[in-house]
Amino acid sequence: MDINALIEQYGYAALVIGSVAEGETITLLGGVAAHQGLLKFPLVVAAVALGGMIGDQLLYFLGVRFGPTLLRRFSRHQKKIQRAQKLIQRHPYLFVIGTRFMYGFRIIGPLLIGASRLPPKIFLPLNILGAIVWALIFSTLGYAGGEVIGPWLHSFDQHLRHWVWLIGVLVLVVLIRLWLKRRENKRD
């Protein structure tokens, strides 16, 4: 089975699962796959938004349940945590939606929001809206990037065999060299 058939068959599920754990890279790749015609763009956006929303919702509930306990462990960062929690209370809409776009806040952001006791009735709709906006932006970037990456992907398959052979030869040379060196050291 070739890679394109695997993407067509399991691509949406992979996007949901991948965007639960990690977001931008998987979303960009989903956009590229949509550009290549392997997946449908609206379904890519929906799958990525669903995965991102689920991941952040789980982290939010972890923050509600264990947040204060977890955050106390980061004693060196208490001032930053307190500042973030004040920002959450003052501007919950911007913080919940913006957390997705702030580098380094993808995991800790929803935990902080949950620990700050922002009510679920506020977090859930903002989380959904943020997930849709985020998925749309990054899927579109991936789709646009597919224009550049597309020709490279077609030639990649042809060059892959050459790279595998080259790497194999290099590994073989290194192994032979190590074996000879070890053999020489045993003689001494």
Instruction: List pLDDT tens digits, range 32-60.
Output: 889 888 899 999 999 999 999 999 999 99
Measuring CA to CA, which residue among 145, 151, 150 is closest to residue 31?
145
The runs of H, that is alpha helices, within 73-119 are 78-90, 92-98, 108-115
What gap in Å lies between CA 38 and CA 33, rounded to an integer?
A: 5
CB 19 within 8 A of CB 51: yes
Query: pLDDT, tens digit, for every residue of 138-181?
Result: 899 888 887 776 666 566 656 665 666 677 778 888 888 888 88
Query: pLDDT, tens digit, for every residue of 87-121?
Result: 888 888 888 888 888 777 777 888 889 988 889 99
Kindly report the pTM of this predicted structure: 0.72
pLDDT at 7: 83
Give every CB contact of residue 129 below 8 A, 6+ residues apart in sequence.
97
pLDDT at 123: 92
